């Protein structure tokens, strides 16, 4: 295998990995009304008369710009920021 063949194989493997990573199923968010109760809420309820404990939903993290610098650092400003420069870290 020549040097060029090895480089081509590595490039194709890297490309296949990025395609595979990009096509993974991303979790989707559903909006649920606060008054909605799960169908099996009666089965999960404890003894009669005890209040049901609901888990506290986590707040989503703010979306970041994500612009990549040549050095590999990413912008930490909010998505769609109006500032002309990026803030890297």
pLDDT digits (tens, 9 = 90+) for 17-61: 888 877 765 666 666 666 666 665 555 555 555 566 777 677 677
Residue 21 lies in a domain: no
Q: Which of 9-13, 33-37, 38-42, 76-80 has the lowest mean pLDDT?
A: 38-42
Q: How far apart are CA 70 and CA 86, in angstroms?
A: 12
pTM: 0.32
Contacts of 79 (CB under 8 A, 6+ apart): 62, 63, 64, 65, 66
Number of domains in the chain: 1
Looking at the domain assignment, is residue 10 inside a domain? Answer: no
89 assigned to some structural domain: yes
In a domain, 77, yes or no: yes
Q: By residue range, what is the domain housing residue 81?
A: 63-89
CA dihedral in degrees (70, 72, 77, 81; nearest 10)?
40
48 in any annotated domain:
no
User: Does 80 map to a domain?
Assistant: yes
Residue 60: name the closest of 81, 78, 87 by CA: 78
In a domain, 69, yes or no: yes
Is residue 85 in a domain? yes
């Amino acid at each position: 295998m020549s040097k060029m063949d090895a480089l081509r194989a590595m490039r194709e493997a890297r490309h296949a990995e990025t395609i595979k990573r990009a096509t993974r199923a991303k979790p989707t968010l559903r909006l649920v009304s606060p008054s909605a109760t799960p169908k099996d809420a009666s089965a999960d309820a404890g003894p009669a008369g005890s209040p049901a404990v609901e888990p506290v939903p986590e707040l989503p993290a703010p979306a970041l710009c994500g612009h990549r610098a040549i050095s590999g650092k990413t912008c930490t400003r909010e998505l769609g920021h109006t500032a002309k420069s990026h803030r890297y870290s």
